[in-house]
Amino acid sequence: MSYVIGIDLGTTYSAMAYINADGKSEIIPNAEGERITPSVLLFEDDSVVVGSYAKNVAVSEGERVVQFIKRRMGTDYRIRQNGRDYSPEDISALILKKLKQDAEVFLNTTIRDVVITVPAYFDDKRRVATKTAGEIAGLNVLGIINEPTAAALEFSASREVHNKTILVYDLGGGTFDITIMKVNGKDVNVIASGGDHELGGKDIDDCLIAFFQQEFRKATGFDPLTSLAGEQELRSKAEETKRKLSSSPNARVSLNVEGRQAAFKITQPQFEELIDELVLRTEMNVELVLDEAELSTRKIDDVLLVGGSSRIPLVAKMLTRLFGKEPLRSVNPDEVVAQGAAILANSLAIEAGEVPQTPNTLLPNISDVCAHSLGVVSLNDFGVPENSIIIPKNSKIPCQQSQVYGTVRDKQDAVDIEILQGDAQDPQDCVQLGIARMENLPPSLAGSPVEVTFAYDANGILHVKGVFLNTGQSISTNIEVQGVISPEAARRSRQELQSISVE
């Protein structure tokens, strides 16, 4: 039998799911029998180990272990291992290769088609990088879906949600998302989305690590963070302690760094004081997205918790205070995103005629929004370049908007339309998607009108048209966001990584 799967490629943990014979989404355990897989790699001499073993030996093998690579997606970051430079796409591909292998063993078939999830707040460059990682791993990426949207799909499919406005609070290992959507059965209509791709469970762990460092120095006079082994020991115990404090009023911590030992206790109130500013940052983001959606807290029917760190009691306290009701705990925060991705993967495969439709199969209808604004570089009244937004953030896609600009000087014979993605006013703080050049313009006065039209389609491709209104002369181009690595480099990586054994 042929299967397609959904993959939640997480910062700290990854998960995968498929649609079973009953038409329901089901988690696929890895080869070790675990329902989620640590997104951690250990480079050995001739192979790569992905998962719990790599995570467990991070203390002793720190220089050969790679973690939190998702935060580097869409950048030119490189890490050197075994005489080769690895990009974030390469590292992510090795994680995906492990998941693919384990899914094939569990389902007893070859897996090729997948849907991979990304944070809603990822820009297009990071989304392209994620898709490229799947291709390097030998997968056919049917689609990329936002993590909160995937969670809402599974939530609706398992509970038959009708006519509800849901806010998804997604506090994952390395990223934080808020998405507000209308859910009515198979219809998921995203209203607004926001978040912070530099805020997550790792930052909460960092707060605990700083506390552990202070307590260890008090007890031993030694700074445990002066060694890589010490840093890994504290990080491992921080995650363990965070989990303990999510269900218990206190936790006992025992640290052993280079033969020095310290033991102490941390209470839940102490923990909450340590992370209060981080939770406040998430609250501010929630309020911002509510404002962008022009909704009050009273208009939100349910708050859905997603991501492992959403289990922290302080999160539920904050949301209960903000919305006047407790958030839902009816889904597994670690698994719901992969399950939703499997629903979309199965739906896309049915549409393509690759898998049969069963009576209980959900065929979702998703309406999404732009996660970031799209604009061009223009000069303000002071002659300073700024980002002039044409398609605002949270616009429904597909969409089309136009704006008219003036030429800068008399007899200007060419216009460069520099296309940006981002919400900042300063172009330097945005992502340049490309430049469309209009040439051979007739002599004209400064301020002659140039109309720029952006059309953004559901596949994430931006169609740009510029028209010199004095004569009707026009130029058109399609901007398909390119990743940091070229298609040729991605093909080379795929060939090279095929020879690497992943366990």
Catalytic residue among 89, 102, 147, 203: 147
Is the separation of the CB atoms in 238 and 208 below 8 Å?
yes
User: How far is it, in rounded angstroms, from Cα 424 to Cα 430?
Assistant: 6
Is the separation of the CB atoms in 448 and 406 below 8 Å?
yes
Catalytic residue among 24, 70, 97, 202: 70
Is the separation of the CB atoms in 361 and 401 below 8 Å?
no
Residue 170 falls in the annotated catalytic set = yes
DSSP letter assigned to residue 482: -
User: Is the Cα dihedral 343, 349, 355, 360 positive or negative?
Assistant: positive
The residue length of the chain stands at 503
**CA-based end-to-end distance of the chain:** 25
Residue 354 falls in the annotated catalytic set = no
Residue 125 falls in the annotated catalytic set = no
Helical ranges in 37-196 per DSSP H: 52-56, 88-107, 124-136, 147-159
User: How far is it, in rounded angstroms, from Cα 174 to Cα 215?
Assistant: 26
Count of C-beta atoms within a 10 Å radius of residue 426:
11
Catalytic residue among 154, 170, 231, 335: 170
User: How far is it, in rounded angstroms, from Cα 141 to Cα 420?
Assistant: 26
User: How far is it, in rounded angstroms, from Cα 210 to Cα 115?
Assistant: 38
Helix (H) or strand (E) segment spanning residue 258: none
Catalytic residues: 8, 70, 147, 170
